Homo-oligomer: A and B are copies of this chain.
Amino acid sequence: MRGLGTRTVLYQESVAASLGLYNHDFISVDILHEKGPITAGELSKLTGLATGSVTALIDRLEKIGYVRRQNDPKDRRKVIIVPVYEQKEEVSNTYLPLHTAMMKLASTYSAEELELITQFLGKASTVLEEQIEHLNTTRNSKSSPT
């Protein structure tokens, strides 16, 4: 699990570097892809980045066409961040070899085995999400004791 974790981090960095992006910018785009359009405040909470950093991040990503700011159709007073990078050919091309290799790996397992593995990965994701929140809460309470 730990070995896979280290490699995941290095893989993400390699992808970001290939695309000429800051690593953290790219992770934020990935979160947007997964969670769907969210507000800057929500993105700040999910990444653990300060509000000011998130604003600068969105500016950078909007400039290179990875995200778009738009009014929330459900609440016109809110601005949401919409990921638009999936249409970018350079992004899908970069991910394609990994996608192909993972599909090849998956094809060596039966449907029941894949079901078990997928279920485990989902649960491990939830555990990590809780741990991230725990770490960020601990850190913030340390840096601002009031």
**DSSP majority for the A interface?**
helix
Which residue of B has the minimal Cβ distance to A26? B9
Cα–Cα, bound, A139→B130 (Å): 35
With contact pairs A13-B48, A30-B6, A109-B120 given, residues A18 and B132 touching in the complex (Cβ less than 8 Å): no
Chain B neighbourhood of A11, CB < 8 A = 5, 128, 131-132, 135
Distance, CA A139 to CA B13, complexed state (A): 12
Instruction: Let me know if A55 is at the binding interface, CB within 8 A.
Output: no
The answer on a CB contact under 8 Å between A12 and B14 is no
Residue pair B128, A1 in contact (C-beta under 8 Å)? no
Q: Which residues of B contact A92 (CB under 8 A)?
A: none
Report if A10-B105 is in contact (Cβ < 8 Å); known contacts: A4-B121, A113-B116: no
CB interface residues, A 1-43, toward B, < 8 Å = 1-15, 17-18, 23-24, 27, 30-31, 34
- In the complex, what residues of B have CB within 8 A of residue A135's CB? 11, 14-15, 17-18, 94
Are B4 and A131 neighbours in the complex by a CB distance under 8 Å? no
A101 engages B117 (CB within 8 Å): no
Is A71 at the interface (CB under 8 A from chain B)?
no
